[in-house]
Homo-oligomer: A and B are copies of this chain.
Amino acid sequence: MIVVMRNGATEAQIKDVCSMIESCGLEVHLSQGKERTIIGLVGDTRKVQEDRVKSYAGVNEILRVVKPYKLANRVFQPEDTVIEVDGVKIGGNNFTLMAGPCAIESREQLFRAAEEVKKSGAKVLRGSAYKPRTSPYSFQGLGEEGLKLLAEAKQKFGLVVETEVMDTRQVDLVAKYVDIVRVGTRNMQNFDLLKEVGKLNKPVILKRGMSATIKEWLMAAEYIMSEGNKEVILCERGIRTFETETRNSLDMCSIPMIKQLSHLPIIVDPSHSTGKRELVKPMSLASLAAGAHGLIIEVHPCPQEALCDGNQSLTPEMFEDIMVMIRKMAPLMDMVL
The answer to the question of A265 belonging to the interface, with a C-beta cut-off of 8 Å to chain B, is no
Q: How far is the CA of A190 from the CA of B166 in the complex (A)?
A: 8
How near does chain B come to A182, taking the closest CB pair, in angstroms?
15
**Interface mask (A69-112 → B, CB under 8 Å = 1, otherwise 0):** 00000010000000000000000000000000000000000000
Q: What residues of chain B lie closer than 8 Å to A133, measured between beta carbons?
A: 191
Q: What residues of chain B lie closer than 8 Å to A4, measured between beta carbons?
A: 65
Residues A233-268 near B (CB distance < 8 A): 239-246, 249-257, 260
Q: How far is the CA of A44 from the CA of B33 in the complex (A)?
A: 9
The answer to the question of A177 belonging to the interface, with a C-beta cut-off of 8 Å to chain B, is no
Q: What residues of chain B lie closer than 8 Å to A65, measured between beta carbons?
A: 4, 33, 36, 38, 63
Q: B304 and A279: CB pair below 8 A?
A: no
Tell whether A211 pairs with B214 under 8 Å between CB atoms, given A249-B251, A308-B49.
no
Q: How far is the CA of A260 from the CA of B40 in the complex (A)?
A: 25
**Interface mask (A281-309 → B, CB under 8 Å = 1, otherwise 0):** 01101111111000000000001111111
Q: A308 and B249: CB pair below 8 A?
A: no
Q: A213 and B226: CB pair below 8 A?
A: no
Q: How far is the CA of A234 from the CA of B45 in the complex (A)?
A: 37
Which residue of the partner chain B has the closest CB to A290? B286
Tally A residues with Cβ within 8 Å of B: 103
How near does chain B come to A199, taking the closest CB pair, in angstroms?
13
Question: Out of B63, B244, B274, which one reaches A213, CB within 8 Å?
Answer: B244
How near does chain B come to A21, taking the closest CB pair, in angstroms?
13
What's the dominant secondary structure at chain A's contact region? mixed
Q: How far is the CA of A213 from the CA of B108 in the complex (A)?
A: 37
Q: B216 and A243: CB pair below 8 A?
A: no
How near does chain B come to A176, taking the closest CB pair, in angstroms?
18
Q: What residues of chain B lie closer than 8 Å to A260, measured between beta carbons?
A: 278
Give 9 closest A-B pairs by Cβ, nearest first: A55-B310, A211-B211, A54-B311, A186-B189, A289-B289, A167-B192, A285-B289, A286-B290, A286-B286
Chain A residues near B (Cβ < 8 Å): 2, 4, 7, 29, 31, 33-36, 38, 40, 42-44, 46, 49, 51-52, 54-57, 59, 63, 65-66, 68, 75, 132-139, 166-169, 186-187, 189-193, 195, 210-211, 213-216, 219, 222-223, 226, 239-246, 249-257, 260, 273-274, 278-279, 282-283, 285-291, 303-311, 313, 325, 328-329, 332
A sample of 27 inter-chain contacts (CB < 8 A) reads A4-B65, A31-B40, A40-B40, A51-B309, A51-B310, A52-B306, A54-B310, A55-B303, A135-B222, A166-B190, A166-B191, A167-B192, A169-B169, A169-B192, A215-B245, A239-B242, A239-B249, A245-B253, A249-B253, A250-B252, A253-B274, A255-B282, A256-B282, A282-B289, A285-B289, A288-B289, A329-B332
